[in-house]
Amino acid sequence: MSGDEFGAPEIVRRPDKATLSAQIAGRLVDRILTAQRDRGVAHVVLTGGSMGSASLEALGASGRADEIDWSAVEIWWGDERFVPFGDGERNEVQARQALLDRLPLDPARVHPMAASDEGVTTEDGAARYADQLATAAGDGETVPAFDVLMLGVGPDAHVASLFPGHPALDIDATAAVAIHDSPKPPPDRISMTYPTLNAAREVWLMVAGADKADAVARALGGADRHQAPAAGVHGTDATVWWLDDAAAAQLT
Ligand SMILES: O=C1O[C@H](COP(=O)(O)O)[C@@H](O)[C@H](O)[C@H]1O
């Protein structure tokens, strides 16, 4: 599918980060319930960073977590910082602290990316994640059709660990890629590639704060994905930009 074939994104704007996070949490519950009703199991891709944690914390605070059969939810990550297991820099650790540790998840359905103290390289970790995705996808597919894929957006418009100008932006022969020389610490990471991100039924880009306003305006204003990686992600059914007023301030 070329960029021109995607429908216009939905833009949901709320006054502040707390209100935005609560809105995201409510729609995430609804989305998981719908996926489980339609397909039995829901595939959810989590993100790191400020909005990744805030939205999960909001779900915990909403009182709605008990509506979901968490044993039938597959949890994935769009990217990971390649640091030791348990390190607070890991997106997995942040998600566990924000919510996952309090949910009755099936451990076999939780899929963290590799850690640097596992005795594997980032390349090994990326290849292993690609294998896990293919196994879960079945039917000869390389990745599952995720029900919802959540992404934060950096002030440089990066998503997952796909950074402006980085060679990984053009890798499409594998589902996950090793990242070196990340401009944002830590330098070594693992990331889903564009084809994997864009296999999701719904892609949610969640952005709060004035420091992201320029990135949002560029990505939604038609920037090339090599300059603004967030411009290159789209869901097959829907692409939703969740913005607080500060992040939306430069939209015309
Ligand atoms: O490094 C990362 O940054 C982005 C955005 O983080 P934020 O704190 O600026 O919101 C995040 O979405 C990504 O998963 C992460 O690895």
> Cα separation of 177 and 233, whole Å?
16
pLDDT of residue 101: 98
The packing angle between helices 49-62 and 91-98, to 10°, is 20
Strands 202-207 and 42-46 turn out to be unpaired
> Cα separation of 125 and 113, whole Å?
7
Note the pLDDT tens digit of each residue in 97-109. 999 999 999 999 9
What's the CATH number for 9-241?
Answer: 3.40.50.1360
- Verify whether ligand 1 is closer than 6 Å to residue 198 (CB atom): no
CA of 38 to the centre of ligand 1 (A): 31
Q: What band does 6 get if pLDDT is binned at 50, 70 and 90?
A: confident
Cβ within 8 Å of residue 115, ≥6 positions away: 82, 83, 84, 85, 87, 90
Mean pLDDT lowest for which of 28-32, 101-105, 138-142, 167-171? 138-142
What value does the mean pLDDT take over residues 39-60? 97
Nearest to 201, CA basis, from 32, 25, 20: 32
Domain spans of the chain, in order of start: 9-241
pLDDT of residue 5: 64
> Cα separation of 2 and 5, whole Å?
6
Do residues 239 and 6 touch, judged by C-beta distance below 8 A?
A: yes
| pLDDT at residue 4 tops 90 | no
Model-level pTM? Answer: 0.97
CA of 37 to the centre of ligand 1 (A): 31
pLDDT of residue 252: 86
- Verify whether ligand 1 is closer than 6 Å to residue 144 (CB atom): no
Note the pLDDT tens digit of each residue in 148-170. 999 999 999 999 999 999 999 99
